[in-house]
C-alpha cells in the first residue's frame, strides 16, 4: 500500500468553502480512480490560515498513475484551486505503508 500526501494552505475565511470544493473535485477524482483504497482530509487552523492535508491510500504506483499521470510526484490541481490556495505546491509525497492496524484487531506488518 502506498500513501500519497498533498498539502495546501488557504485563508481561514475560505476554509469551509475550499473543503466543500475539495469534496467535489479532488476527493471525488481520487475515489473514482481504480486502485484507490481510501481518502483522509485533515485540516489545521492557526493564525488566520487553514492547512489541509489530503491523504490518499493506493494499492500501487500503477494505480496512482491512473489518477496523476506518469509523473506520480506531480501535484494534481483543478481549475478553481488557484482561487483558494495561497501557493500551488508542485509536488506531493509518497510513503510505503509498512504496518496498518484497524480497530483493535491483531495486525501483521504489510511487507
| Each residue's pLDDT tens digit, 5-20 | 999 999 999 999 999 9
Report whether 8 contacts 58 (CB < 8 A): no
Q: State the DSSP code for 76.
A: P
CATH code for the part of the protein at 2-96: 3.30.70.100
CB neighbours of 107 closer than 8 A, spacing ≥ 6?
99, 100, 101
pLDDT tens digit sequence for 39-50: 999 999 999 999
- Tell me the three cell numbers of residue 3: 500513501
Domain ranges of the chain: 2-96
Considering the entire predicted model, what is its pTM? 0.88
Q: What is the mean pLDDT of residues 76-84?
A: 95
User: What percent of the chain shows pLDDT beyond 90?
Assistant: 88
pLDDT tens digit sequence for 20-42: 999 999 999 999 999 999 999 99
CA distances from 110 to 23, 30, 41, 71 (A): 29, 23, 23, 25
Amino acid at each position: 500500500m502506498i500513501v500519497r500526501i498533498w498539502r495546501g494552505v488557504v485563508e481561514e475565511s475560505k476554509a469551509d468553502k475550499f473543503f466543500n470544493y475539495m469534496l467535489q473535485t479532488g476527493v471525488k477524482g481520487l475515489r473514482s480512480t481504480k486502485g484507490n483504497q481510501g481518502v483522509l482530509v485533515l485540516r489545521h487552523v492557526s493564525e488566520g490560515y487553514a492547512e489541509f492535508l489530503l491523504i490518499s491510500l493506493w494499492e500501487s504506483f500503477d494505480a496512482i498513475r491512473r489518477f496523476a499521470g506518469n509523473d506520480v510526484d506531480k501535484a494534481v490541481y483543478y481549475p478553481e484551486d488557484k482561487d483558494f490556495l495561497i501557493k500551488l505546491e508542485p509536488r506531493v509525497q509518497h510513503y510505503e505503508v509498512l504496518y496498518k492496524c484497524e480497530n483493535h484487531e491483531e495486525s501483521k506488518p504489510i511487507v
